[in-house]
Amino acid sequence: MNRKEFLKNTAMAAGLLLLPPSILFAKQKNENARKPIHFIGLGGAGCNAAMFIQNKMLSAKFTFITENKHHSKERLMQLGTFIPYQSHLKLHELNAKQFIEQGISATELKIFNQVFNKDETFILLVGLGHTTGTLLCKNFIDLLNKTKQDFYVVAIFPFYFEGQKPQQIANTFLHNYKHESRLTIIQNESVRKKFGDLTIDEAFKKIDEMMMNKALELVKKN
């Protein structure tokens, strides 16, 4: 190294030492920074789980997408972003295969573009087997994979007493997405096996808690 290069490098080093630490380490912080966590409740069960998590004062972003009849619009708007959604499909008019093969509608694409438009880690919460949550979850998984975004799905499998059609819908969904590594399934019937006889309200509170614990586990991994 000649004298000119030495003096130049020495001056650069001295200049860096005069910079405040906030600037020196800004790049490192940005590289190590985690993406914001965004919980998205899909349908009645998914929104219940999202509300349960939000009530635990978790510092995160929340979006609720469901029919108006399932929850208080005003309450959901207090907790996060509320997007009303009414599917044009009727569950009783379709078999499981027809239901799961439905393409994304213009309304669903608009919702996707509205919700998933930032660089965040998305955690979808959903109850499988019913129209709103299952359909939105299916379409959003496809679009999230297509747009290569970070996401996880925590889904619950319906109770036996919910009927044969929800079981068929949920099973078809699971068959189609059996290779989706970011999908976690919680069997509702496992609550009965673990905790014994519970009222419906007690059982669903346990399920919300299980969904929350799994979601928090995913957040820690992120």
Confidence of residue 9 (pLDDT cuts 50, 70, 90): very low
Q: Give the CA distances from residue 218 to residues 125, 151, 174, in Å, rounded to whole numbers and listed in that order.
A: 12, 10, 20
Question: What pLDDT does residue 50 have?
Answer: 93
DSSP code of 128?
T
Top-confidence residue, 114 or 9:
114
Per residue in 59-77, pLDDT tens?
789 999 998 666 677 788 8
Using an 8 Å Cβ cutoff, are 90 and 96 in contact? Answer: no
pLDDT of 12:
40
Give yes or no for residue 166 having a pLDDT over 80. yes
Q: Distance (Å, rounded) from C-alpha 138 to C-alpha 101?
A: 9
Coil, helix or strand for 162? helix
Give the Cα separation of 119 and 213 in Å (integer): 24
User: How many beta carbons lie within 10 A of that of residue 44, not counting itself?
Assistant: 18
- Asked if residues 79 and 51 have their Cβ atoms less than 8 Å apart, the reply is yes
Question: What is the average per-residue pLDDT within 43-70?
Answer: 86
CB 188 within 8 A of CB 157: yes
**What pLDDT score does 150 carry?**
94
Check whether 10 has a pLDDT greater than 70: no
pTM for this prediction: 0.81
| Interval 87-112 mean pLDDT | 83
For the cut 70, the answer to whether the pLDDT of residue 17 exceeds it is no
The overall average pLDDT reported for the chain is 81
